[in-house]
Structure 1
Amino acid sequence: MSRLLRASAIMAAGTMVSRVTGFVRTMVLAYAIGTMAMGDAYNAAYAIPYSILDLLLLGVLSSVVVPMIVRAQQHDPDGGRAYEQRLMTITTVALILVAALAVLAAPLLIDLYTTDWEPGTRKFEVAVALARFILPQLAFFGIGAVAGAILNTRDRFAAPMWAPVVNNLVVIGVLAAYAVIAGTTGGDISKVTNGQLALLGLGTTAGIVAQALVLVIALKRVGFAFVPRFDLRNARLGEMGRAGIWTIGYVIITQLGFMLTTNLSSAAGDAVPGHGITPYTFAFQLFQLPYGVIGVSVITAMLPRMSRGVTEGRLDDVRGEFGSSVRLISSVMVPVSLLLMVLGPAITVPIYAHGATSVEAAKYIGNVLQVYGLALVPFAIFQLLLRVFYAFGDTRTPVFVGAGTTAVNAVLMVVFFQLLPARYAVMGLAFAYAVAYALGAMVAWWLAARRVRGLGGWEIGMALTRMYLAALPSAVLALAAVWTAQQVFGGLDFLNSLIILAVGGGLGMLLYLAVAHRARIPEVNSIVGMVAGRVGR
């Protein structure tokens, strides 16, 4: 536990700074372009390269490439150096070609991810122009992702977690410049100029270029010397293809679900301006914060160790690593999920209600975030369970689990979209997400437990129960803070929201830590002890 905690803490620190600067970036974005048509056009264009990267690379990295690099390091005479160089060469060449093709296909891609954005309309043309400026980042993002994977297999976690900070700082500067240049018309899609679109799009890409450079420099400092290698016979593409085909299948299925989400949310935004893709995107980014800070850090540290445990036939270590990871993640996710469900609008008003984004628009983002709070714990456990299969080199089972989860999500999204008024449609999409991942986590748990001959479900279930009981007083305190502030001050504004967050969020988390400490929840005590030890130095 202590080793996992230390490695996770290093990554969590970088991820925390990354997420904080990411919030600043999102705040400046909301200030500059708002949540109406201009915001929807930017967020639609911005989502496409990440969808393509998920399809081609990022899903394969975690499930196939990291375990293969670990095996090459363990079994190849040169410690896997040549294999890593081949991997970097193939990735660079392939993604340059993909980026070029994506730029050419930008109109088709925008059409795929939206509904009723007709070619020739201003929203469609702006989205296409932004996509053409943003899509070249595919090549740089992919190179940085492979560099980060190689660093992780060498237990160098700091650079991959801190590099996004550079990206955020670059884009914050670009967005601030756009806000100054465009002024009060920055959120008006009818008045944005081609030069302003170029600044937004190319500035977004410049952030990814800077991020990739940081990772490449970090890789060089640990002794990696990049030598282009085109001897594909030794690249193990066949092995990678056999393992990765199922992962690609899983990513295709999830991306089809994401495509449905963007289409439904864009239709909702057309029906009720300000209730479309942008509030969904902003709420999802906030929802991902606790998972990104804690969950990704723990998973990144966990996967190489689980892979080594499987390779060496130590299933007890695999079970122990998984159990420690679930309890550590849940000790943070449980109270945060309850607080998100209570404090959603109080969180989003101070962040987003500036410039081109109104208070009412920020409140709606908070309403969507409240619904997302339901999904936080199931989503995190689901992601951990997938890594159990990936550690075994099994990329097929996650496809079937992911297919079922995505199918349930798709059906529920369509049902809620049809039943709910358009102003609540995006909230319905978030609820469908929560239900689907809760069901998916249950199925994945059953299958993973069979694979490793038990996951300690009773012990983990009891630990989660104790965490929820310890978090309930914090949720009650947060509810009391919301009710009192509304009775005394009326509706939400910037100052009222800060008061609610200070009492409900700040004191609420301190109350949780105190109750959990008295309840002797070991994961919370480990975190408190580690922080206290560092503060006392």
Structure 2
Amino acid sequence: VAAFLADPTFSHPISSIVEKPTEGIIGMAFGVLIGGLLQYAFQWPSLRNAGFRYRPMLSFTDRGLRRIFALMGPAVIGAAAVQVNVLVNSNFASSIPTETGAGPVSWLKYSFRLMQFPIGIFGVAIATATLPAISRSAARKDVKEFRHTLAGSIRLAFLLTIPSAVGLIVLGRPIIELIYERGHFGPADTRHTAAALAFYAIGLAGYAAVRILAPAFYALNDARTPMMISLLSMATNFVMNWMLVGVLQERGLALSSSTVALMNFALLYAIMRRRVDGIEGRRTGITVAKILAASAVMGAVCWGLNNAIGRFTGVVFPARAANVFVSVTAGAGIFYLVASALRVQELKAATDIFVKRFARRPSRP
């Protein structure tokens, strides 16, 4: 929808209400809005089939609503760290001198968007599926099931995000060339954006794990701990930005964000481990070591393929698309084979999720 409205040929009916009717970017903004409304509307039939009926009602004496309000304030602060850090990073980036190209603010924005892609696919999906299970365990005070579910979700997140991070580091440049390099976005912008993406990717697993751990605290009726750690991470990010921007420029800002994400995860993990008497730390450590080994092999294969294919292809869009597709597909296959050989147990769980997701058929009434 956004792409359709971005075309000046089609965006006149909507963009006529703004000052510059030919700006396709206005059509993209309306496209995002319409897409969000459609996403909301598509869920209603399934909700109604499940028996959900919505009636507007607001009662401040309701115990559940009062509990939500009590948790909401600290939870908002706890979830705000990423967005606040992005804003602070942009402010520091605007002070970096540049002569040509998109500029440090744009380089950071484009690289952060690419880094958010695997988080949105894997991290959010795992966190969404985990929350009901750990909430039920917390309500039953079943600590053993709580920590087993939480630990399994963290390992699954690592299984999916660590190789994704390695892939972004190794294939960041060809991916950025494919997606962004056209118009005013030139080769120099690609180099700077790829460098920032590599530093952002370092913290990818931390970002995803925090999305799982923070709701686990909420399930235990503790919104204060994630809030305090979030405030600490924002302060740390500001200090690190100030220290690194002059040395590494936009790369230092990305490195600061990654360091803070890993710190946020480490603190939440340490506190939760003490609270529930362990989160299967030994098994998680062994799994992470195997994932790192498989990711290293995958990264080497992706690097070799990208360089080999790049020698025989040009800079046109089909050639770049073929390079990225072959490298990513081969890398994913190699990772699967190596992880299987290393007997990463979570690999089967991840495979089952994808198989059930794509092989599921609607049930007959």
1:463 equivalent in alignment to 2:287? yes
Q: Secondary structure at the match of 1:512?
A: helix
Structure 1 regions of 5+ residues with no counterpart?
Answer: 1-169, 183-191
* 1:504 has 2:327 as partner: yes
1:377-456 map, 5 Å? 377-420=205-248, 425-456=249-280
Q: Mapping of 1:300-449 within 5 angstroms?
A: 300-420=128-248, 425-449=249-273
Taking structure 1 as the reference length, the TM-score comes to 0.59
Question: In 2, distance between residues paired with 1:527 and 1:381?
Answer: 16
The residue number in structure 1 matching 2:20 is: 193
- Structure-1 separation of matches of 2:265 and 2:166: 19
Once the two structures are superposed, the pairs formed by residues 38-53 of structure 1 within 5 Å of their partners are none
Instruction: Check conservation: 2:130, 2:212, Cα contact below 8 A.
Output: no
| Counterparts of residues 28-67 of structure 1 (less than 5 Å) | none
| Cα deviation 1:28-59 (Å, max 9, x = unaligned) | xxxxxxxxxxxxxxxxxxxxxxxxxxxxxxxx
Tell which deviates more after alignment, 379-388 or 209-218. Answer: 209-218
> CA distance change for structure 1 residues 223 and 237 in 2, over 3 Å: closer, same or farther?
closer
Q: Deviations over 1:435-475 (max 9, x none)?
A: 11112221111101011111111110111101111222111
Tell me the equivalent position of 2:8.
178
Q: State whether residues 200 and 255 of structure 2, in contact with CA within 8 Å, keep that contact through their aligned partners in structure 1.
A: yes
Per-residue deviation at 1:213? Answer: 2.5
Q: Which amino acid aligns with 2:281?
A: G
CA separation in 2, counterparts of 1:352 and 1:300?
31
Task: Give SS of 1:455's match.
Answer: coil
| AA partner of residue 480 (structure 1) | G
Superposition deviation, residue 263 in structure 1: 1.8
Identify if the C-alpha distance between structure 1 residues 465 and 291 changes in structure 2 by more than 3 Å, giving closer, same or farther: same
Give the distance between the partners of 2:29 and 2:348, measured in 1 at CA. 45
Letter in structure 2 aligned against 1:521: V
Cα distance between partner residues in 2 of 1:276 and 1:269:
8
Amino acid at match of 1:414: W
Q: 1:25 matched to which residue of 2?
A: none
CA distance in 2, matches of 1:475, 1:339: 6
- SS state at 2:202 partner: helix
Post-superposition CA distance 1:456-501 (Å, at most 9, x none): 1111011110111122211111222344355x35996645544542
Residue 279 of structure 1, CA deviation: 2.9
* 1:359 to 1:418, Cα distance in 2 relative to 1, 3 A: closer
Backbone CA RMSD of aligned residues: 3.0
Is the Cα–Cα contact under 8 Å of residues 359 and 493 in structure 1 kept in the other structure? no
1:255 shift after superposition:
4.3
Q: 2:37 aligns with which of 180, 190, 209?
A: 209
Name the SS of the counterpart of 1:193 in structure 2. Answer: coil
The aligned amino acid for 1:314 is D
- What is aligned with 1:244? 72
Q: 1:200 to 1:267 in 2, by over 3 A?
A: farther
% identical equivalent positions? 21
Which is richer in helix? 1
Note the alpha carbon deviations across 1:328-365, whole angstroms, 9 max, x for none: 22222222211111110111111222345434434433
Q: Quick one: distance in 2 between partners of 1:204 and 1:526?
A: 33
Query: How far apart are residue 293 of structure 1 and its match?
Result: 1.4
In the TM superposition, what is the alpha-carbon distance from 1:391 to its structure 2 partner? 1.2
How far apart are 1:367 and its partner, in Å?
2.8
Change (3 A) 1:492 1:382: farther
Q: TM-score, normalised by structure 2?
A: 0.85
Secondary structure at the residue paired with 1:233? coil
| Structure 1 residue 523 corresponds to structure 2 residue 346 | yes
Corresponding residue number in structure 1 for 2:336: 513
Distance 1:173 1:269 in 2: 36
